[in-house]
Structure 1
Amino acid sequence: MKNNLEYRGVVHLCLLFICFFVPPPYFAHFPHGHCFTSFSNLDTQQQHQISGTVTDSYGPMPGVHVLIKGTNNGTFTDANGEYSLVVNTKDFLVFSYLGYHTRELPVLGRTTLDVEMQSEVTELQEVEVNAGYYTVKEKERTGSISRVTSADIELQPIVSPLEALQGRMAGVEVVQNNGIPGNAPLIRIRGQNSLRDDGNFPLYIIDGMPINSTPIDGGNNFYLSGIDPLSTHNLSNIESIEVLKDADATAIYGSRGANGVVLVTTKKGNYRRKTEIEARWYSGLGQVSNKEDLLSTEQYLAIRKTALQNDGRQLDEFSDYDLLLWNQHRYTDWQEVLFGGTSQIMDFNVAASGGNGTTSFRLGGSYHNEGLVFPGDNSYHKVTAGLNLDHISENNKLHMNFSANYGIDQSDVPAYDNSFVSTALTLPPNAPKLKNEDGSLHWEEWEYSQWDNPYAAILYRNSSDVGLNLIANLGLSYQLFHSLTFKTNMGYNNLTRDYKASFSKDQYSPEIREGQNHSSRERHADRKSWVIEPQFLYRAKMGKGTLDGLIGATFQQNDNKNLIVTGEGFVSTALIGDLAAAQSVNIINNEIKRYKYNAVFARFGYNYDQKYFINLTGRRDGSSRFGPNKRFANFWAIGGAWIFSGENFVKQNLPFISFGKFRGSYGITGSDQIGDYGYLDAYEATAGPNGIYPTQLTNPNYSWEENKKLETTLELGFLNDRITLGSSWYRNRSSNQLVGYPLPSITGFSSVQANLPATVQNTGWEFELATMNIRSKNFRWQTFLNLTIPKNKLLSFPDIEQTSYANIYRIGQPLNIRLLYEYEGVDPETGLYRVNDVNEDGQYDFNDAIVVKKLGREYFGGLTNKFSYKGMEVRFLWEFVKQSALERETSLPGYKAMQTAQFFNEWQYGQNNNVQTVSESFDAGTAYYNALFSERFFTDASFVRLRTLSLSYDLPAKPLKDIGLKGCNLFLQAQNLFTLTNYNSLNIENPGNATLPALKTLTLGVKINL
């Protein structure tokens, strides 16, 4: 009797443990209030009958296999999804169906057990997507939101998180204008809305903290696009990046979301888990991904000598030193010499995470170093640290989250006056060597040359650009009542960049060196901002639906400082940079600006019967960038969705549709992306005492840009969502354009800030396809395809003829056009290019530019394939772009500068008579440069690029466990491996320009979990 009582006591303790600690699916089906009563009557050997219904999100599931674990006894559900089995109380039931996650549940004495199966593919539909101020399930969202996760981000050997988006998102265009680490990529979300380039930046938000997305001036011409404000972020610390595109998703951000929103969410720790340590290291090499096909020495000399012959002149020592003084048999590939080096890449990341029932943490840091492909030992490196703390009170009412990310990066890109890249593309192949045998710079043979020795830039033009970036955010929420929660978000960002460059006069040839000075340049940029956003959140059941609502306010302030100072006349190289030792010091720029932004916002969403959804958002914004009477504006949106696959008529008549949803939205967002204080009269002090002069005209009447967004979308799933397809059509119309209105020079000012009555329209189609091609126990093959077909045009611009924009834009045409001369071929009499002088006035200007050609992308997208076999996984992404561009401008053929091999082939072997006579004459130069601005050099610049290729392998778990490891993954990652294109360009992403392309990299690494 005693033993029996002890046995029952042990059973009861075990059952209490199960009740409190077993995950909800194991006991979710017990009747409320009867958990312990049922357990207390258990007899673990007693057989009984159990029955139930198996369903998924669309209703009953016939044909589900129900098996008693460890036996061959089982059954299948009938046409109504019902089953019945004789079981013991100790048994476990295994529910399995192709395409769905297997469920394993204990019997525990139950006589009824209903189970909901979860599709392996549609588990993505259950993912909580970050929509900014709230989260929403993927299948229930009414707005357009694209998402990439850490699996697609963390292993890529890149610096900016934006680069991870290339080719992965429909409607999101990311372009690397320059392959220098830290250079800001160009990002456009559904096209260009503003006439101003700086009016098209999206809003960046990191863990709730808004970040100024405008790139920071990089100091030299390798950073013409600026330095990316996200460059100091640790990619391994990013959990996901969401991009909000349509009005429904962005209107809650009001004016800040006019050009889309990029949400970056960092990783958190795990509750109820012991502390884990994750370490990841990779190292590899990088080289320029593409080089231009240029002339050999023989080809170069053939063109030069033919030009002399055609011009009927003799060799001249002053102008023809490449033919008289330079070795006629020397050949140097200057691309290989000046940017053909190998970049050494190394990255190390470590993070510790864990927690208990109420608190979780994640603490991590990283180091990234990346060499440059130029001569010398210049490099880019950064160090980051990140902390995330999450706490929930025992009564689940108080929730606190704190995140802090700190990064330091330094770029040692040489302070070039002239880029190595452009020099490598123009320097003749027989130019003399750049260094003597003893390593000193070679100057002698350059006596008659107008070129500087490119190596002088490495030795005598030094620079350093250091950035420090702190992003911190504290989120607090407290559940006041069952349906009402108060929440506040408080963030702070401090970003500083210090650029210092020194220029020694030794960079010049000895003949002109004495007339030069040692000089320096410094730039100090500082951005500080804070935000406070109190909110009330409401959620309650209403009939067969759920009402979600929030109401809140935003208080934000940005302080920007920018100082540029130059020093001239340092006595020696050792003193360069010490402004106290300079003969003269000039302050080029000294700006101190403050921007204040306040808003109130609200959102109300209603979900009826898990099939019908409506979402209303509104915001009233106030900005200090407008005059007192124009500071406030209202923005709003409405979005709706209908999951029609839940309707009976679809289930009965279209059983092959496993998921179907219509959604659409319309709303108005705005923009205040202009400079501060533009509505005021502005003055600056003169050099003399008590003097000032005006620098800006007042205009207190300009106001917000407006962007009206419309979208409609159809989402479909087939064959239990093994195939999913989404297609969206959108139309954005941006009006009331904020621009600098040009003024005649007689006013003393070049422009005044104003609104122009122009409307820019962006329309387009976006397609996203995902397929599960093969799915077996050990092998899977998945494919993801996205395609964007954008169209942009200037819809209207009243009286455009009265403005200077008449020479840039055409109504009904895209913004990214070039107005070109009409090409008429090669003149048979002169042998020179001929373009049409439309008004026959004997000169060529904008009146003759009657040909409109669209530059940029006609469509773009990406194709991803993922293969997994047991512990091995292979992924690759092809990015494809259809685009047009002008050929890169070269020097006049026949002049002492390099040409492309394509030109030589057209000139020497071409049969179309489309190349003019090579000559250095004035007439030849005039004809050539007129043709450069004609349709003659307009061409297709499309490409297909293998953007990423990765191979990873998880080592077997058992041997790892024996040595104390929880996991070990080996991986190989290739980036920009090769590109298919007919366009002869160095940087296919920025065609027509002499910029360094993205590097082709290969890295090998290991990831360890302790």
Structure 2
Amino acid sequence: MAFAQDRTVSGKVTGTDDGLPLPQVNILIKGTTNGTFTDMDGNYSLTVPSGSTLIFRYLGYVTQEILVNSQTVVNVQLAPDATSLGEVVVTGVAVGTDKKNLGFGLSQVKNEQISAVPALDASNTLRGKVAGITIVQSQGDGGASVSLRGAKSVFGNISPLIIVDGILTQQNLSDINTDDIESIEVIKGAAASSLYGSLAAGGVIQIRTKRGAQGKEGIRIQYRGEYGISEVENVHPTASTHPFKILPNGDFDLTSGSRELTDDGTWNPYPSYNDNFGNLISKQPYYMNLVSVQNSLENYSFYMSAQHQTKGMISEVLDPEERLNVRMNFDIFPSEKFTAKISTSYQQNTLTPVSRGGQGTFFSDALLVEPFIDFTERDEDGDYAVFPTGFDVVNSNVANPLYQYENWEYDDTNERFVVGLDLRYQLTDNISFNVTQSIDKFNSYSKRYYPKGYKTATPNATLNNGNYSISNNRESYSVTSAQMNFNKKFGDFNVSATTKFLHEYNFEDGFNANGRELVTNGVYDLGALSQDNRNIGSYQRETVSKNAFLSTDVIWKDKLIFNGLVRRDGSSRFGEEERWQTFGRVSLAYRITQDYDLPIFDELKVRASYGSAGRRPTWRAQYETFSVSSSGISGSVLGNANLIPAVNKELEIGIDGEFLNRFDFQINYASSVVENDFIQRRLSAVTGYNTQFQNLGAVESTAFEFQMGAEVMNKSNFRWDANMTFDIIRSEITDLAGIPPFTNGYYRVETGEPVGTFYGNKLITSLDQLETDGSGNVINAWNADGIPLSEFSVNNLGYVVLTDDIGTPQETAFYFNDPDNRGAKLQTIIGDRNPDFKVGLSNTLTFFNNLQLYFLIDWKQGGDKYNATNQYLYFNTRAADQEEYARLGHHTNFSISANSLYNGNLPASHFIEDGTFVKIRELSMSYTFKNPVSFVEDVRLSLIGRNLLTFSNYGGFDPEGYDENFDFPLYRNYTVSLQIRF
């Protein structure tokens, strides 16, 4: 009979990432509770039975099991775990760094969060997944706008810097194929983004694309196809009746030569009804096909993919938009000391131009036209009628969009090619070098062709005899960098330092030409245009920037972490007298759990950082420009040799933690001030110029962010993972350097007010708001001087009116008057677009390791939206509101009068609406068939929904966005996806 013999096993545990010893590694004998920990030098000793298996666990590293046979020495190397706080990150740091060693907040979105419902483009990938991010898609076509941690300008939000695989690029997130993304890193504050100097006042989003075969040797091939439909979720409500007098047979009464409003405010049925907007929009197809190939061998790896996407434009009359993406990433490892990485991508977008914003645009025509007119009517030539029956009755400037999109020709195509080379050489154990070169080339082409004989409702000399225009714009952006890295351990101190030099060159040029009066149709040549009616223009500009930084990190006993960074930026975008500017940061972090054994915490770190980042002026801001006209040359913009970048300075305090081996969280509080904003200031006439770009204005912001991930449950046949984000962001204009307050569209730019406040005329809604003189007469209501307070009341719509006028054509809602000019309405703050808070909730439920349910809920609480669409509808008596007002006893004049609700199309408080919403943003149900045949790794079948359902009281198309003005409606998307991996 043989008996197992105990033996003493000893060894050392180190990390594969840096070769350093790992202290406090938990070592257990499998199947028992017996074990030990490594000491501060990574050493351990443990008595074990022969044939035992040792389990090595360490936070931030992959758990490893080792079978002990006759060995007495077992040295172990643990690899970093890409799913934990110890993941290596590359954004905001000079070299790849463990997340546990960061002194600032960084958010990550990993592949499993992206692949559950791949967004139609990368701009929507981060929704509900990162705290402190604002994503707004107010138009159904195109990508969304993305901003981080509040306003960075008196004019509002600015876009973050986009980096792809370490390449500084001019790309938009909407250019990037989400199926190529491995992970996304987001840094929101100036302290974190100070590494990028004057490029990154708006923060940084870095996309890391797939490379190699994720650690598996051999070729892997993947196909994914998606097919489905897109449709508009909500249609802007319009009136189904009209307020005009009719004859006994139901036709309009045109006795006076035109239509007149009914005397008693009655609304009548139309003589016929055509749902022009409903006929214009329809369910349209969406489909996407992707093929990728990847391989990994000892000395090289590669990833290649090609994707083609077609998006229907929710109307049959509009051509679908198409996007082609090709990516090739190569990694070469010729020796242990030398590596080379090549990253390339190509995108081609074919777009459909759709006019929007105000009257005379695609969707305004469809909403404003009265339903007794039929846009599908054909004329004697078989074309859609430019002047369909009834246009003479309406006498409006509405056009038939069906005619335009059937008879004109257009082409909007853009291309982008990006390539980056990264060479790295490890000179010694402590010193390494790397050199990078990247180039980003962009080209856009646009064509508009109106044939000779093009029809318009009224004569149009520009279009009727033909019109042809073309434009071509190019941009080339190249970056060269050289970097040296040093890393060495001195006793309990681990010291690293990096110095880097970057050279940027940006070149842009463009050409445009147009003309009218075609000699003949079908000739796409500027020579076919009348010589007297041709116009041509071009531009060329270049920017050169040189930047250098020094970054130093000192880590003491793997628990106290310091970073200092200084960066100098020189750019031709800065004024001639201010060519060089300085940015930098300091940060300090303390890993509490390295000193204290906290009952539930696996990791707990506190940190603080302070730093600065900047935003460069536009190319033309520092130069003098002139206006040329028939009367001569005159000064337009005065140059500014002292123009400097706007600077964002921020203090960030945060906590990162993991507890119970199942939960992780991040808490951030940030306070920032943006100074030296760019404002085009009006000048005195004696200067000879109209304006000058100056560094004026400051914005202060605060942000509170909370993010938590949880493995709620993990059983043999069921797993539940959840993620929550929450943020509160406030931004206020604190300085305009003596410039009087001014308006920018619907918004007020004024010291002491939040960025994004709506400004206009405010209606009086309570008798308590009325002020009187000594005689009891109202003095603060516009057009109501001398009227006693006793004659006013609040009507059933909540507005102060004259009691005797209720229900009559004279009923008018009163506005506050200007106390300094009582003959004018008061201009004042009427709303604020900023939400009270935002919440994102995502859940992934996995059953039997095959069936998966995923959903994401996006909640925005508060924040106003201006419904300019409804305001235009009021004037044209097409708003559904107006029908309801008539039912409640109000004459049509109450809503359409320039002195009442409509307000002459000037901003008015009546059209401010609550933008609160809760959206089921993403939903998917997937089933995975594992190894269905020998050569197939798995097959995944998914049902996917995007922007599925919105809960909101907003009365327009969609509560998302800040203001609506006949926008392209947002749409929801349902698809079936098939993924096969070989």
| TM bucket normalised to smaller | 0.7 to 0.9
Which of 431, 451, 470 does residue 417 from structure 2 map onto?
A: 470
After TM superposition, the structure 1 = structure 2 runs for residues 873-888 of structure 1, keeping only pairs within 5 Å, are 873-882=852-861, 883-888=863-868
| 1:988 and 2:948 matched | no
After TM superposition, the structure 1 = structure 2 runs for residues 226-305 of structure 1, keeping only pairs within 5 Å, are 229-270=172-213, 273-296=217-240, 300-301=241-242, 303-305=243-245
After TM superposition, the structure 1 = structure 2 runs for residues 931-970 of structure 1, keeping only pairs within 5 Å, are 933-957=907-931, 959-961=932-934, 964-970=935-941
Identity between Structure 1 and Structure 2 (%): 21
TM-score between both structures, scaled by the size of structure 2: 0.85
Shift of 1:486: 1.1
SS of 2:273's equivalent in the other structure is coil
Distance (Å, rounded) in 2 between the aligned partners of 1:922 and 1:415? 26
Partner of 1:853: 831
CA contact (8 A) 2:444 2:474 kept: yes
Distance verdict in 2 for CA 1:510–1:333, change over 3 Å: closer
Deviations 1:101-150 (A, max 9, x none): 76432224224658899999x94212222215422222222122222233
Shift of 1:671: 1.9
Partner of 1:87: 50
CA contact (8 A) 1:817 1:855 kept: yes
Distance (Å, rounded) in 2 between the aligned partners of 1:49 and 1:1008? 49
Partner of 2:364: 422
Partner of 2:619: 676
Which of 193, 196, 209 does residue 152 from structure 2 map onto?
A: 193
Shift of 1:542: 2.0
| 1:731 and 2:662 matched | no
Distance (Å, rounded) in 2 between the aligned partners of 1:441 and 1:670? 53
Deviations 1:547-603 (A, max 9, x none): 121101110010111333221111344235644434445446422110111111111
Distance verdict in 2 for CA 1:423–1:314, change over 3 Å: closer
Partner of 2:512: 564
After TM superposition, the structure 1 = structure 2 runs for residues 775-854 of structure 1, keeping only pairs within 5 Å, are 775-801=714-740, 808-824=748-764, 825-828=799-802, 829=805, 830-839=810-819, 841=821, 843-844=823-824, 848-851=826-829, 853-854=831-832
Partner of 1:499: 446
Amino acid at match of 2:324: V
| 1:334 and 2:276 matched | yes
Distance verdict in 2 for CA 1:582–1:58, change over 3 Å: farther
Which of 316, 338, 349 does residue 409 from structure 1 map onto?
A: 349
Amino acid at match of 2:237: D
CA contact (8 A) 1:58 1:646 kept: no
Amino acid at match of 1:669: A
Distance (Å, rounded) in 2 between the aligned partners of 1:881 and 1:513? 46
Partner of 1:109: 70
CA contact (8 A) 1:153 1:161 kept: no
Shift of 1:230: 4.2
After TM superposition, the structure 1 = structure 2 runs for residues 150-165 of structure 1, keeping only pairs within 5 Å, are 150-154=111-115, 156=117, 158-165=119-126
Distance (Å, rounded) in 1 between the aligned partners of 2:478 and 2:524? 37
| 1:973 and 2:949 matched | no
SS of 2:642's equivalent in the other structure is coil
Distance verdict in 2 for CA 1:815–1:47, change over 3 Å: same
| 1:77 and 2:37 matched | no
Partner of 1:636: 584
Shift of 1:718: 2.6
Amino acid at match of 1:87: S
CA contact (8 A) 2:871 2:911 kept: no
CA contact (8 A) 1:277 1:353 kept: yes
SS of 1:424's equivalent in the other structure is helix
Which consecutive unaligned segments of at least 5 residues does structure 1 have? 1-43, 68-73, 214-228, 911-915
CA contact (8 A) 1:822 1:850 kept: yes
SS of 1:827's equivalent in the other structure is strand
Partner of 2:650: 709
SS of 1:575's equivalent in the other structure is coil
Deviations 1:455-511 (A, max 9, x none): 112112332111110000001111122211111110001100001112246553476
Partner of 2:770: none
SS of 1:336's equivalent in the other structure is helix
SS of 1:732's equivalent in the other structure is strand
| 1:178 and 2:139 matched | yes
Deviations 1:719-767 (A, max 9, x none): 23x22232111011011222211235675643111112x2211111001
Distance verdict in 2 for CA 1:921–1:185, change over 3 Å: closer
More helix by share: 1
Which is further off, 874-883 or 49-58?
A: 49-58
CA contact (8 A) 2:326 2:347 kept: yes
Partner of 2:105: 144
Distance verdict in 2 for CA 1:84–1:917, change over 3 Å: farther
Deviations 1:124-181 (A, max 9, x none): 212222215422222222122222233333564644311111221111111112111x
Which is further off, 418-427 or 514-523?
A: 514-523
CA contact (8 A) 1:627 1:701 kept: yes
Shift of 1:320: 6.1
Distance (Å, rounded) in 1 between the aligned partners of 2:247 and 2:752? 44
Distance (Å, rounded) in 2 between the aligned partners of 1:838 and 1:683? 38
Shift of 1:280: 1.3
Amino acid at match of 1:488: V
Partner of 2:87: 127
Partner of 1:765: 704
Distance verdict in 2 for CA 1:571–1:414, change over 3 Å: farther
Deviations 1:748-793 (A, max 9, x none): 643111112x221111100102222111123111110001100010
Partner of 2:786: none
Shift of 1:533: 0.7
Amino acid at match of 1:281: G
Distance (Å, rounded) in 2 between the aligned partners of 1:145 and 1:554? 24
Distance verdict in 2 for CA 1:101–1:625, change over 3 Å: closer
Distance verdict in 2 for CA 1:391–1:595, change over 3 Å: same
| 1:919 and 2:890 matched | no
Partner of 2:404: 457
Partner of 2:606: 662
After TM superposition, the structure 1 = structure 2 runs for residues 575-586 of structure 1, keeping only pairs within 5 Å, are 575=523, 578-586=526-534
Amino acid at match of 2:978: V
Distance verdict in 2 for CA 1:736–1:686, change over 3 Å: same
| 1:166 and 2:138 matched | no
CA contact (8 A) 2:26 2:57 kept: no
TM-score between both structures, scaled by the size of structure 1: 0.83
Amino acid at match of 1:75: T
CA contact (8 A) 2:449 2:469 kept: yes
SS of 1:153's equivalent in the other structure is helix
Partner of 1:386: 327
Partner of 2:796: none
CA contact (8 A) 1:269 1:355 kept: yes
Partner of 2:659: 718
Shift of 1:231: 3.7
CA contact (8 A) 1:75 1:83 kept: no
Distance verdict in 2 for CA 1:944–1:314, change over 3 Å: same
SS of 1:812's equivalent in the other structure is coil
SS of 1:977's equivalent in the other structure is strand
CA contact (8 A) 2:587 2:607 kept: yes
Partner of 1:210: 168
